[in-house]
Amino acid sequence: MPLSTFLGLETTLRGILAQQLALDVTGHNIANANTVGYSRQAAVMAPTPAYTVPGVTRPPQAGQLGTGVDVQSYQRMRDEFLDIQYRAQSMRQGSAQAAQDGLKQIEVAFNEPSDTGLNSLLQKYWASWHDVSNAPENLATRQALAQNAASLANGFQNLATQLQTVQTQTAQNVTDTISQVNAIGSQITQLTAAITADEVTGDKPNDLLDQRDVLIDQLSKLGNITVTVGALDTVDISIGGATLVSGGTPQSAIAESDMTSLTSGKLSGLIGLRDTTIPGYQASLDAIASTLITQTNTAHANGFDLAGNSGGVFFNGSDASTIAVNPALLTTPALIAASANGQPGNAGNALVMVDMQQTAQAGLGGATVDTAYSQLVTKLGSDVRDATQTADNATILAGSLDDKRQSVSGVSLDEEMSNLVKFQRGYQASSRALSAMDEMIDQLINRTGKVGL
Amino acid sequence: MSARITQNMLSRSLLLDLQNVTDKLSRTQRKISSGKELTAPSDDPFAASQALMLRQNVALDGQYQRNVAEAQSWQSVTDTALSNVTDAVLRVRDLVVQGANDTIGPQGRQAIANEVTQLIDSIKSSANAQYAGRYVFAGSATLTEPYQLGANDAYAGNAEIVKREIGPGVQIDLNTVGQSTFGDDTSGLLSTLRTIVTDLNSGNTAALGNADLRAIDVAHDSVVNARSVVGALSNRLDTALSRLQQLQDASSAQLSNVEDADMAKTLVDFSTQQAVYQSALRAGANIIQPSLMDFLK
């Protein structure tokens, strides 16, 4: 029976080595329990090839003898399908979050409902015309009207400036985000090159793959991406239709114009804000301001000032960013044309201005100046609410999908502790088996053949 | 097999829940400290638009009340002046009756004529009544004195009716025109009074007893008539004022409904959320801490 005496030694040694490697993997898992994007690893153990006893005739014994264990590979626990789901939500979250941030800034700028917003400035402006209609001869009420009209014009200008500022910031944010996309893209390209180099030699670079997945997660927040995994774990990534990563080959940086089909992600949210949402608000605000300017100026020209002369221009400018009260009216409020016929006690033209508050304006789609502004504020409020709800939903969904991923890939300390105990005991038992072999061989070498000594 | 739950999942969900509760707490706290249910349009876009409209209504109703109060002051100045004029006209009528009596001598009539001349000036100064620097009987030429004291009875104002707005599209005729009420050097009360003075001076008792007496009655009627118009307008303004006050109260109540926080409900919400927050913290402290490590040697 030609079996080596020392076969058992070798078998137990393999056990010791394998348990030790498994312990090392457990240590690696515990060490990375809090590393972002880390996927837990497991040592995959398998029996080493069995020893078949050679012989010309069939031996009268069991056919194959096990020879112990070996660590075949270190498996990275990861579910690619969950990655795809998570990234889809992450894209939605990115665009809603970006829209929400910008819109909230605009909402703060509007400062409604309050005693200081444009609505209340409009009310003060109309009230001043009422006061002038009550006492058209009185210079003090005219002065108050000129001042309140100036505050209203300032209110329009401030709002227009704030909208402009948010738009400029958003445009800057788009540029910064595109640089970020390109930076992440070149990091992924470098990692892919390293991964492929490792895989060619048959290794599985688990930790590099984790790092790359973290970068792809980050990228999914910024834009809609498609990820195609090729042979040897190379990836091709396109963002908004533009090729960002193509294996390990460096690509030229992409520009905004390259992303022709951007549908979600932070970039899409920001660009929507910059090109659609904010210009929409600006257009509405400008329509209100320009209607107020033209209607007021037309009516004002039909009236007469305190000296009986025809009224001049009341508001200068043409939209929300340029509206201003004719400075002559501020210095000489007698020039305000409150009279319809040149008599100082006639308030006919002031009453025309007063009635303008209730007049449906064709330029505002049949709304009055006040209601057009209310509609704008309501639209803004709904937009903020929608964006907030979408962002909240996407955050919750992304969170629960991340939980699912964690359920597969995350390190559970309890599990690692029990593994630690398991592999430690395995190591101890293998050592004990080795000792048993040792004692057996000791018996054979040192005691055998000494009968009667 | 049930899902693996890792420590990071536990801390992540605990943190998310804590953030949610804190966010709710801070919103409720803001409601309590500001007393407002609505702090931004996005809290409730529909309510925000209602709030804006109601604010416009409240402001407008307040403004119309000011317009009405202004018109009322104007009417009260007008009424006082007309009341003085009525008294003066009645006094003139008494004097005319006295002057028409033959027993009174030319000297007596002279004295009466002097008193009537004085009363003319008194009527004209009543007709020059001002409200806040404006002549109320001068039509729309409110900065021009309608009558000059002395012999010149010409009317310097105009006959324009001044309008005021006391409701959306609701305009009233504010002023009583001096010329149609008091007349001038060619017709009306003043002209009648001048004729009476002439008749008194010339001792024309026949005219005094008949034509002048009738003319003064006509003039008296016209002043009383003007007063009754003012009185009717004052009543209308009173009604408008109380209606506007009711409207404003209703709008304010609605605005408060939409905008203001329901304190009882908000405070109950606050305590509930606080309790949730504290139990989340406690649960977190208990769940996160122990692991198998605490029980292995």
Q: Residue B1's pLDDT is what?
A: 44
CA–CA min distance A23, chain B (Å): 16
Record: contact A133-B165, CB cut-off 8 A: yes
Record: contact A34-B8, CB cut-off 8 A: yes
Provide, as residue numbers in chain B, all residues whose Cβ is less than 8 Å from the Cβ of A385. Answer: 42, 45
Q: Residue B284's pLDDT is what?
A: 81
- The Cα A182–Cα B133 span in angstroms is 75
Q: Kindly report the pTM of this predicted structure.
A: 0.85
Residue B14, chain A, CB below 8 Å: the answer is: no
* Chains A & B: contacts with CB separation below 8 Å: 179
Three-state DSSP class for residue A338 = coil
Instruction: List, for residues A376-389, the tens digit of each pLDDT value.
Output: 999 999 999 999 99
Record: contact A345-B46, CB cut-off 8 A: no
Reduce the secondary structure of chain B to three states and give it as a string.
Answer: CCCCCCHHHHHHHHHHHHHHHHHHHHHHHHHHHHCECCCCHHHCHHHHHHHHHHHHHHHHHHHHHHHHHHHHHHHHHHHHHHHHHHHHHHHHHHHHHHHHCCCCCHHHHHHHHHHHHHHHHHHHHHHCCEECCEECCCCCCCCCCCCCCCCCCCCCCCCCCCEEEEECCEEEECCCCHHHHHCCCCCHHHHHHHHHHHHHHHCCHHHHHHHHHHHHHHHHHHHHHHHHHHHHHHHHHHHHHHHHHHHHHHHHHHHHHHHECCHHHHHHHHHHHHHHHHHHHHHHHHHHCCCHHHHCC
pLDDT surpasses 80 at A414: yes
Record: contact A403-B9, CB cut-off 8 A: yes
Record: contact B160-A346, CB cut-off 8 A: yes
Which of A137, A374, A414 is opposite residue B53, by nearest beta carbon?
A: A374
- The Cα A448–Cα A425 span in angstroms is 33
Provide, as residue numbers in chain B, all residues whose Cβ is less than 8 Å from the Cβ of A408. Answer: 4
Residues 26-85 of A with CB under 8 A from B: 33-34
Quick one: average pLDDT of A411-426? 92
Provide, as residue numbers in chain A, all residues whose Cβ is less than 8 Å from the Cβ of B38. Answer: 113
Instruction: List, for residues A53-104, the tens digit of each pLDDT value.
Output: 766 665 556 678 889 999 999 999 999 999 999 999 999 999 999 999 999 9
B291 to A249, A410, B79, B288: CA distances (angstroms):
46, 16, 92, 8
Residue B47, chain A, CB below 8 Å: the answer is: no
Cα angle A223-A225-A228, degrees, rounded to a multiple of 5: 165
Question: B172: which residues sit within 8 A by CB, 6+ positions away?
Answer: B71, B163, B164, B166, B233, B236, B237
Please indicate whether residue B9 or residue A228 has the higher confidence score (pLDDT): A228
Q: Residue A62's pLDDT is what?
A: 64
- The Cα B270–Cα B274 span in angstroms is 6
Chosen for mutation from B1, B44, B52 (greatest number of chain A CBs closer than 10 Å) is B52
Residue B30, chain A, CB below 8 Å: the answer is: no
Record: contact B52-A374, CB cut-off 8 A: yes
Per DSSP, helices labelled H in A228-277 are 265-272
Record: contact A378-B6, CB cut-off 8 A: no
Element holding A325 (H helix, E strand): strand A324-325
Record: contact B141-A126, CB cut-off 8 A: no
- Nearest C-alpha neighbor of B51 from the set A120, A240, A416, A350: A120
pLDDT surpasses 70 at A199: yes
Residue B164, chain A, CB below 8 Å: the answer is: yes
Q: Residue A197's pLDDT is what?
A: 94
Q: How does the average pLDDT of chain A come out, rounded? A: 92
A-chain residue closest to B162, CA distance: A346
DSSP secondary structure code for residue A236 in this structure: E
Instruction: List, for residues A158-181, the tens digit of each pLDDT value.
Output: 999 999 999 999 999 999 999 999
Provide, as residue numbers in chain A, all residues whose Cβ is less than 8 Å from the Cβ of B66. Answer: 130-131, 134
The letter for the amino acid at A8 is G
Which of B139, B141, B169 is opposite residue A355, by nearest beta carbon?
A: B169
Which of A130, A343, A411 is opposite residue B158, by nearest beta carbon?
A: A343
Provide, as residue numbers in chain A, all residues whose Cβ is less than 8 Å from the Cβ of B292. Answer: 413-414, 417-418
CA–CA min distance B22, chain A (Å): 15
Residues of chain B whose pLDDT is less than 70?
A: 1-2, 288-290, 297
Whether the link from the prior residue into A49 is cis, omega within 30° of 0, is no
- The Cα A136–Cα B140 span in angstroms is 10
CA–CA min distance A123, chain B (Å): 7
Q: Is A342 left (phi over 0), alpha (psi -120 to 50) or beta?
A: left
Record: contact A345-B171, CB cut-off 8 A: no
Q: Residue A14's pLDDT is what?
A: 94
Record: contact B66-A345, CB cut-off 8 A: no
Which of A347, A378, A380 is opposite residue B162, by nearest beta carbon?
A: A347
Which of A134, A381, A403 is opposite residue B70, by nearest beta carbon?
A: A134
Q: Residue A445's pLDDT is what?
A: 87
Instruction: List, for residues B259-286, the tens digit of each pLDDT value.
Output: 898 899 999 999 999 999 999 888 888 7
Instruction: List, for residues A93-132, the tens digit of each pLDDT value.
Output: 999 999 999 999 999 999 988 888 999 999 999 999 999 9
CB count within 10 Å of CB A188 equals 24
CA–CA min distance A31, chain B (Å): 14
- The Cα A295–Cα A306 span in angstroms is 21
Residue A141, chain B, CB below 8 Å: the answer is: no
Residue A307, chain B, CB below 8 Å: the answer is: no
Q: Residue A59's pLDDT is what?
A: 58
Complex prediction ipTM: 0.86
Question: A195: which residues sit within 8 A by CB, 6+ positions away?
Answer: A205, A208, A209, A212, A232, A233, A234
> What confidence tier does A278 reach under pLDDT thresholds 50, 70, 90?
very high
